[in-house]
Structure 1
Amino acid sequence: MSVCILCLGRAYKYTDGRTKVPLRGGAEVATNARRINGFISKRAIILLFACIILALGLTARLFYLQVLRYDYYESIVLNNVSATTTVSASRGVITDRNGVQLASNYTVYRIFIAPREIENEDQKTLICQGLSDILGVSVEKIREQADMSYYADRTIKKNVEEEQASAVKEFIADNKLSRQIYVEPSTKRYYPYNDLAAQVIGFVSTDGGMLGIEKRYDKYLTGTPGRYITARDAWGKSMTSKYETYVEGQDGYTVETTLDVKIQGALDAQLEKTYNESKATNRVTGIVLDVNTGGVLAMGTYPSFDLNNPYEIDDSILELFDGYEEDANQQRVLENDNYSNYAEVVYDFKNIKEQYSPDSDEYSEAYMNLLYSTWKNKSVSELYEPGSTFKVITTSMALEENLITPDTEFTCTTPYVVEGIKIRCHKYGGHGTNKFRWLLQQSCNPTLIQIAQLVGREKFYNYFEAFGYTSQTGIDLPAESSPIYHNFSGFNAVELATYSFGQTFKISPIRQITGVSTVANGGYLITPHIVSRVVDGNGNPVYNANEEPQRQVVSTEVCRTIWDILEEGVATDGGAKNTYVPGYKIAAKTGTSEVRDVLDDNGNSFLRVGSTVAFAPADDPQIACIIVCDEPMTSQIYGAYVAAPYVAAVMEEVLPYIGVERQWSDEERAKMNTTVRDYVGAPVANAITNMKNLGIKYNIVGNGEEVTYQAPAGGSAFNKSSGTVTLYSGDAVPNRYITVPNLEGLSASGANQRIVNAGLNPVITGATNSVSDATALVVSQEPAAGSSVLYGSTVTVTLRFIGDTDA
C-alpha cells in the first residue's frame, strides 16, 4: 500500500517500506495544485472583502437612517402617532404716533370635529344637528365633514364669536363629546375707527396684509404660530408619551405710525365736505405732512370703505353719483372707451347690478372692479398734473439763481407765444405790468413762463430732478406710482413753458406735497414716511425710519422769501385767499390743471383737477396740507374754490392741536367770534356786570332778579362787534319768532346787516380776511333761509371768494 502526498508543491508517494518516492509527472501535478490554491485564495479574499464592504454599507446605512436622518424618520413616526394643533399667534398692533390703536385683535374661535372619533350614527346625527342649531351652518354641510371618518380635524366654522363658542362648549359638556368636537381659540383683526385712513392702514386676508401698512409691514406684523403636539394610538386616542409638548408661538411686532387720529379725523371730515360740494367724479384726496421730518400725520381718500368689512360695498357709494350720466362732460367720459373715472366704475356696477344676478361672472367682475377702485390710495397710486401749485418750485429756481427778486417787474402778455404755441393767462386780458410778488400771488402763467426762460432749459431740468420730480418719493406704502415726464432730450421750449406752471407732466399728490415741503422746511428734500418705528414685545426697536434729509436743493434764505410772498397773498387779495385762517399765518398756493387723458371732439380738455397746497405757520413752518379734488362736477371747478377752504379748515383745527397759538391782529380780534356764557340761573345783576366787562351788548326782558332764558343760548358762537345777548327774567317768556332771511350771494357786510336788522345775531366764518368783501360772498347759512327761530338766535354764514380761476 502506498500513500500519495503533496509536499512543498511536489508530489511523492510512500512505499510499504515507508520510502518517499517522487511521483511520476510531479511538475505538472504541482503546477495544477498551485493553480487550485491560488484560485481558492482569491475567492476567499474577494469574499472577505465583499463581506467587509457589505458590513460597512449596512453600518453606514444604519448610521444614516438612525443618526443623520433620525429627526426625519422620527417625525414620520410621530405624525402617525401624534396630532398637532396650531396655536395662532397674535398679529402685531398698529398704532398712531400717540399709541392709539389703529389695528388690533380680538379672540374668536374655530369649531372643528374629529370624524374618526364619532362612535355611531346616532352620535353623528346629534353632532350635526346640535352644531347646526348653534352655528347656523346647514346640517348637510356638517354631515359632509362628519362622514370623512378617517380624519381627525374637519373645520365646521371659523371666526366664531364668544357667545356661540360658549354655547358649543356647553353642548360638548352636556353630551360628553370632548373627543368629537373641539373649540380652538384664534384671533381676528379689528379696526376701531372703521374707515379712518382705510386706504393707508389696509386690511388682512388669509394670505396676510392686503393693502397699505398691513401689506408693507406684513413681515413685522405676522407672528409665528405655536404648536401643541399630543400623542395618539392607532385608534387616534390620546396616550402618554414623551413627545407631547407645547411649542410657544411669537406674536407679531408693534408698528408705530406717524399718523395722528385727531389730525386724520380733521382731514377726513374736510375731504367728505370737499366731495359733497364739488361732486368730484374721480374722488378727492388729501395729506397732512410734517415738513421737517417727512412724517405723514394724515392721509385720506374719499369715498372710503370700512376696514372691518372691506369686501362689502356700502349702498351710500352707489348713491354718490346719482345724475352722473346726465352731465354733458360725463357723457363724453362714458362714450370714451380709453378713459374712465371712479364715477363711471360706480355707474357701470349699478347697471350690472340691475341686469345680472350676484352669482354671474359679469356681476363679480364689476363688483371687484369697484372694490379695487375704492381700495386704491389716491394720494400715492394715482397721478395728476399739479398745475399752479408747482409755481412754488419754479419760483425757488429763479430766486436761487439770483435771476429775480420779489420786486422785479414783469408784463403779463396774453396769449404768450412759444414756438408758435399760444399760451393764455387765466385772467382775460392779462394782468398787465406789475412786481413778481403780486403776479405770483395772482398765479399769472405768462410771468412764470418768463421766469422759466430766465432759468433756462438745462438748469430748470436739473432743479426738476433735484426736487425729486423724476422719481418716486420712496414712501413706505405699496404701489407708489412713478411720475410721467419728458426725458431731457424731449424737454424743449414748449415743455419748459408748460412745466413752469405745472402742466404736461404727471405726479402723485405725495410727490407734490413733498416738493413744496422742501421749500417749507428751508430747502431740504425729505423722504415721506408713514411708520416711525417697529418694536418687539419688550419694546426694543427692530426698525427705525430714516428722517435725515436727502439733500439741500435751495437755500433757506430763498425759502423764507417765498414764505413771505405766499402768506401775503393769502392774507390779502391773492388767488389763495380762501385759505385764510384768522390768527394764523398761512402760506398757500392753489392750482387748477387740465385732464388731458380725454378730449372733446375739438381736441380740447374739458375736465379739471382743483387743488391747494399750504404750509404753516408761514414764519416757522411745521406742517403742510394738500387737498386734490379730481374732476369736480359743479360750476366752480377751481382749486381756489373746491380745495382752498377745506385746507383752511384743516389748518384751523390742526394748528392749535399741535400747540401753535393764534396771533391776532387788532382787526382780526374785532371780527373774532367768541362763545356766549350760560347765564341761565344766574342773578341778572351779575350777568350784566359780566357782559359789561367783556364788552358784550345786551338786552334785558322782564323784571325778575334771576335769568330764566337767554338768546343766543349758552355755548353758542357769538360776535361781540355786531351781536347782542338777550336775557329773560321773571315772567317774561321768549315768544317772538323770526323768519331767517336768505343770505346766499351777499357780501359779509350785506349779510351782517340783514341778520342784525332781522333781530338775529350774525356769526361770520370762512373768508374773512382783509380784502374788499365785494368778491367774498355767502355760500351757505345755518339755519336755512325761511326757518323760524327765536328772536336773538344766531345765524352762521360761510363766506368764500368766488371767481378765482387760477389756471
Structure 2
Amino acid sequence: MAVKGPNHQMRTRIRGLTVLFALIGFGLVGVRLLYMQVFNHDFYVQQATALQTRDTFITPNRGKIYDANMQVLAESAAVERITVDPKAVVDESKVKKGITAESQQQTLATILSETLDVDYDTVMEKLRKTNSQYEIIAQKVDKDVSKELDEKLEAADCTGVYSEPDTKRYYQHGAFLSAVLGYVGSDNNGAYGLESEYNDELSGTAGRLVRVQNQQNKDIMPETQQYIPATDGNSLVLTIDSDIQNYLEKHLETALADNPEARDGVSGIVMDVKTGEVLAMANLPDFDPNSAYELTNDKYINELKENVAKILKEENVKAEIPDAWYEKGGLDNLPEAIHDNSDLVDELGSARVNILMKTWRNPVIADNYEPGSTFKLMTVSTAYDLGATHAEDTYYCGGSLQVENWEIKCANTSGHGMQTLTEALMNSCNVAMMQIAQSVGMDRFYNFYKAFGLTEPTGIDLPGEGKGQFHKLDVASDWNEVALATASFGQRFTVTPIQMLNMVCAIVDDGKLKKPYVVKEVLSGDGSVKSTNETEVVRQVISEDTSAYMREAMEQVVANGTGKNAYVPGYRVGGKTATSEIQPEYDSDGKVLDTEDRYTASFIGVAPMDDPQIAVLVSINDLPESATHTGGTIAAPVVGRIMEDVLPYIGITPVYDDSESDRRELTVPSVSGKTRDDAISTLSDAGFDCIIKGDGDTVTDQVPSAGMRIAASGKVIVYMGEEKPTEAVEVPDLSGMSPDECRDTLEEYGLYLKQKGVSSAQITGDTTATKQSPEAGTKVSLGAVVTVEFSDTTTVNDR
C-alpha cells in the first residue's frame, strides 16, 4: 500500500512555522547583538580585551654599585622569568587524538621541574589553575637555561609557556662587604644595607610590553604591539675602598679564628678622620648576598641546630632534620613525616629566619654595647676642655674608690699609685676617671655626652642604625653620682660602634664632630653625577687645644700604656683599649642564663698622631671570662695589623727614630766577586754585619741575595769559595719565644727575622711570638725572611 506524504496544506504550515521560528531566532540574536554591541558595548570590549591582551612588565636594571676606585661591587644582568598560561597548556587537538589533559600537564611539569630545578608538585598545582592565565614558575633564570628549556618544549610540542625579561643581581666578590651592600629580594627590591637604603635611586622604572593574542597565544595584530622601555636605575659610588676593605676583612678573619669563643663574632670599621667617609666596614661571620637565604657558616648552622633541637624536644617530635634544610631551608628538605604538622614547620622556619637575620644585620651600626674604657677618651677630653683637669694634675689610685654606698674597684685592684692625667689614661685607671668625672659634675658630663652625638643616631646613610641608651636623667635612682662614676669608664650605658668611632674622630680632629657616610655620589644612567655627599660638620665639641692634648695622650697609650700591642714600627699610632662587661641575661624565673661573666674586647686606633688620617675600631664580641678577653691583649694587635697595611697604602711613609733601629729594613747590596775586605766594607756601608764562610780570594755567593730587604740587625752570610747549601730549610716553630730567641734560632737555620708588634722599648719577659709566616714546618730557601708578630701575652688591665 502506498504511503501518503504531507499534503499541500501541511507543507504550507511547515514552511510558515519554519519562517516564524527563523524570524524569532534571528530576532533574538538581533536583540542580543543590540544588547551586547549598543547597550553593553564597553563591558564586552573590556572582556574581549582582557582575554586577548597580554600586558608584560619589563624589569629595569638596577643601578650599579661601585667602590671609591670605580670597581664594580654589584650589578644587574638580563635574565628571564618563566611563566605559564594554564588555559593554554592543554591542546584540544591532542585530546581528540587520545592524549589526555592530565598527561599533557604531567609532561610539561616534568620538563619544567627538571630544567628549572623547581618542585614538580608545585608546578602541577599551578598548571591545574585553569581559571588563571598567568602563573610564575621560576624567576632569575639565566638565558642559557631558558634556551635549553625552549628546546625541550619544542621537542615535546608543549604549549602555554612563556619567558619574560627580568634582571638578576650579581655581587662580584661574594660575601665581600655584604653587611654594607645588603641584598636584593626576588621582587628586585633592596633588602638590608645600601640596596634597601638607596632602593628608590637604584630601582629605576619598569617598562611594559602590550600584545593582542588569540586563544592559541599567537599575535593577532603584531603591528599594534606597544613597547615602553624600562628606565634603568641610578648607580652609587661608595666611599669604601676595596683594598682597605680587603685588609680589614683579612685581619678580622684572623681575629675570629684566634678567638673562636667570641659568640657574636668580630667587627671593624675604618674611617677617614677628616671627612667622615667610611673606608671599610665588616662583620664576621657574614653572608653571600648572591645566595642570601643560604647558611654556609658553621657557627650559624650549629646555632640553628641547637635551636631546632630545643623545638623538637618541646614538641616531643623525633625527627632527623637533613643538613640540606639547615643550609637551604624549604619544605622539600624537611622529613615528609612532619609536612602535615604546619605549626611545627612554621616554627622551624621562623627559627631559621631568625638566624638568617643575624647574618644580614650590621652590628657596627645597629647593635648597642657598653663601650668600656675607650669611653675614657670622652671623660678626659670633657674635663680638659672645661678646665676641670690639666696635663700636670695628678690622681692617686689605691685600687678602689668609695662613691656613696658603693666601693667601685679599678681593674688593677692593687692600685696605680700617684699618676698624672696622661698616665691615668695610659694605665686605663678607673679610679682616676671617677675622680675626673666628679670634678666635671653630672650636668656638664651629660651635656658633653650629648654634644659628642651619643644620644642620637649619627645619621649614616645605612638602614637600621641604633643610638644606644643612657641613664634616665629625671630618675634620681638611675642618674646619680654612682651612675656618673661608672659612666666615667664606659659602663652601665650603651652606644653603637659607629657612634664611638665617630666620637673619637671628633676628639682627634680639632674637636669637629662630623656625620659619617658611605655613599660619595649618585650617578645618573648616562654616568653624570646626580648628587654628591660631602663632609658635614655637625658641631664643634671641644677646642683645638684639647684635641691636641688628647692626640698626645692617646699616642702615649700605645707607646707606653695598655695599647702597646697596637704599635706599628715607623708610625705614630694612638688609641685606647677596652674590656667592657656584658650585662647578664635572665630567664623567666630570674636565673642567669650564662654560667660565667662575658665581655667585649675592643680597641680604637688613630694614625698618624701628628696629623690623623684614619681611625680604626675593632671589637671581638661576647667572650667568656675563661677565654682571653681583654681588648689590649686581643683587639689591639688586630688594629696594629690593619694600620700596618693601610698606612703605607694611603701614602704615609714610615719614619723610624733611634729606638726603632732594629725594625728598620735595609736593602742587601751585591758583594759577589769582591775581595774579603771590599765585601766587608760594602756591607758595612749599607748598614750590615756579615759572617764569612770559607777562605777563598773572592766572594762566590751570598745570603740573602742582592736586592732583598732585611732588618738592619740581620747578618749577611758571605761565601768565599765555600759551597752555599742548596737544600730547602724547614722553618722552625717560634711560638712562645722572645724576640732575641727568635732571632738567634732563625740565624742558626740561615733565616732572617722580620719583627712586628710591641715596640722594642716595651718588650718584657711576657713579650712572646704569637704568629709567624711562613708557618712552622714550611720548606723555604736559605736566607728567607720569617715574619714574626710579638705580643704582650699577659692580660692587659684595661677595663
Instruction: Go from structure 1 to structure 2 and tell me whether the alpha carbon gap of 1:494 and 1:789 turns closer, same or farther (over 3 Å shift).
Output: same
- Look up the SS of the partner of 1:365 in the other structure: helix
Alpha-carbon distance, 1:153 to partner: 4.1
- Look up the SS of the partner of 2:762 in the other structure: coil
Residue type of the alignment partner of 2:509:
N
Q: Residue 705 of structure 1 contacts residue 730 of structure 1 at CA under 8 Å; is this kept in 2?
A: no
Instruction: Go from structure 1 to structure 2 and tell me whether the alpha carbon gap of 1:632 and 1:399 turns closer, same or farther (over 3 Å shift).
Output: same
Residue type of the alignment partner of 2:238:
T
Matched residues in 2 for 1:795 and 1:126: separation? Answer: 65
1:189 is matched with 169
Residue type of the alignment partner of 2:447:
N
Mapping 1:523-672, distance limit 5 Å: 523-545=511-533, 547-571=535-559, 573-598=560-585, 606-633=597-624, 635-672=627-664
Instruction: Go from structure 1 to structure 2 and tell me whether the alpha carbon gap of 1:144 and 1:196 turns closer, same or farther (over 3 Å shift).
Output: same
Matched residues in 2 for 1:130 and 1:347: separation? Answer: 39
Q: Is 1:104 the counterpart of 2:89 in the alignment?
A: no
Mean Cα deviation higher: 513-522 or 468-477: 468-477
1:264 is matched with 245
- Look up the SS of the partner of 1:770 in the other structure: helix
Q: Residue 415 of structure 1 contacts residue 424 of structure 1 at CA under 8 Å; is this kept in 2?
A: yes
1:746 is matched with 737
Alpha-carbon distance, 1:371 to partner: 1.5
Q: Is 1:313 the counterpart of 2:295 in the alignment?
A: yes
State how many pairs are aligned. 713
Instruction: Go from structure 1 to structure 2 and tell me whether the alpha carbon gap of 1:75 and 1:748 turns closer, same or farther (over 3 Å shift).
Output: farther
Residue type of the alignment partner of 1:779:
T
Alpha-carbon distance, 1:569 to partner: 2.8
2:455 is matched with 470
Matched residues in 2 for 1:627 and 1:549: separation? Answer: 25
Q: Deviations over 1:71-114 (max 9, x none)?
A: x9987664343211222111121121221122111222223344
Q: Residue 554 of structure 2 contacts residue 575 of structure 2 at CA under 8 Å; is this kept in 1?
A: yes
Q: Deviations over 1:411-462 (max 9, x none)?
A: 1132111102111221232111122112211111111111111111111111
Instruction: Go from structure 1 to structure 2 and tell me whether the alpha carbon gap of 1:218 and 1:797 turns closer, same or farther (over 3 Å shift).
Output: same
- Look up the SS of the partner of 2:761 in the other structure: coil
Mean Cα deviation higher: 431-440 or 137-146: 137-146
Q: Deviations over 1:562-620 (max 9, x none)?
A: 1011113312x211111111111111011111112348989997211111111111111
Alpha-carbon distance, 1:403 to partner: 2.2
Matched residues in 2 for 1:191 and 1:654: separation? Answer: 24
Q: Deviations over 1:640-672 (max 9, x none)?
A: 011101111111111122222222223324422
Alpha-carbon distance, 1:520 to partner: 1.8
Gaps of 5+ in 2: 1-36, 313-317, 326-333, 335-343
- Look up the SS of the partner of 1:609 in the other structure: strand
Mean Cα deviation higher: 349-358 or 278-287: 349-358
1:48 is matched with none
Instruction: Go from structure 1 to structure 2 and tell me whether the alpha carbon gap of 1:747 and 1:505 turns closer, same or farther (over 3 Å shift).
Output: same
Alpha-carbon distance, 1:480 to partner: 1.6
Q: Residue 594 of structure 1 contacts residue 605 of structure 1 at CA under 8 Å; is this kept in 2?
A: no
Matched residues in 2 for 1:596 and 1:264: separation? Answer: 32
Q: Residue 346 of structure 1 contacts residue 370 of structure 1 at CA under 8 Å; is this kept in 2?
A: no
Matched residues in 2 for 1:493 and 1:370: separation? Answer: 40
Residue type of the alignment partner of 1:228:
L
- Look up the SS of the partner of 1:308 in the other structure: helix
1:162 to 120, 143, 149: 143
1:39 is matched with none
Q: Is 1:215 the counterpart of 2:207 in the alignment?
A: no
Alpha-carbon distance, 1:243 to partner: 4.2
Q: Residue 562 of structure 2 contacts residue 632 of structure 2 at CA under 8 Å; is this kept in 1?
A: yes
Instruction: Go from structure 1 to structure 2 and tell me whether the alpha carbon gap of 1:498 and 1:237 turns closer, same or farther (over 3 Å shift).
Output: same
Instruction: Go from structure 1 to structure 2 and tell me whether the alpha carbon gap of 1:794 and 1:655 turns closer, same or farther (over 3 Å shift).
Output: closer
Q: Residue 738 of structure 1 contacts residue 791 of structure 1 at CA under 8 Å; is this kept in 2?
A: no
2:431 to 446, 457, 473: 446
Q: Residue 385 of structure 1 contacts residue 504 of structure 1 at CA under 8 Å; is this kept in 2?
A: yes
Q: Residue 702 of structure 1 contacts residue 732 of structure 1 at CA under 8 Å; is this kept in 2?
A: no
Matched residues in 2 for 1:314 and 1:95: separation? Answer: 26
- Look up the SS of the partner of 1:270 in the other structure: helix
Percent identical across equivalent pairs? Answer: 31
- Look up the SS of the partner of 1:102 in the other structure: strand
Alpha-carbon distance, 1:395 to partner: 0.9
Q: Residue 718 of structure 1 contacts residue 794 of structure 1 at CA under 8 Å; is this kept in 2?
A: yes
Q: Residue 400 of structure 2 contacts residue 413 of structure 2 at CA under 8 Å; is this kept in 1?
A: no
Q: Residue 452 of structure 2 contacts residue 503 of structure 2 at CA under 8 Å; is this kept in 1?
A: yes
Mapping 1:11-160, distance limit 5 Å: 78-117=49-88, 119=91, 120-121=94-95, 131=112, 134-136=115-117, 145-146=126-127, 152-160=133-141
Matched residues in 2 for 1:418 and 1:101: separation? Answer: 56
Alpha-carbon distance, 1:205 to partner: 1.0
1:348 to 307, 311, 317: 307
Residue type of the alignment partner of 2:465:
E
Q: Is 1:239 the counterpart of 2:242 in the alignment?
A: no
Residue type of the alignment partner of 1:397:
T
Alpha-carbon distance, 1:772 to partner: 4.2
Matched residues in 2 for 1:205 and 1:736: separation? Answer: 53
Residue type of the alignment partner of 1:91:
R
2:419 is matched with 434
Matched residues in 1 for 2:700 and 2:195: separation? Answer: 56
TM-score after normalising by structure 2: 0.80
2:12 is matched with none
1:364 is matched with 349
Residue type of the alignment partner of 1:223:
G
Matched residues in 2 for 1:709 and 1:74: separation? Answer: 96
Alpha-carbon distance, 1:693 to partner: 5.9
Matched residues in 2 for 1:73 and 1:728: separation? Answer: 106
Q: Residue 83 of structure 2 contacts residue 162 of structure 2 at CA under 8 Å; is this kept in 1?
A: yes
Q: Is 1:496 the counterpart of 2:484 in the alignment?
A: yes
C-alpha RMSD over aligned residues: 3.8
2:755 to 759, 764, 788: 764
Instruction: Go from structure 1 to structure 2 and tell me whether the alpha carbon gap of 1:82 and 1:502 turns closer, same or farther (over 3 Å shift).
Output: same
TM-score after normalising by structure 1: 0.80
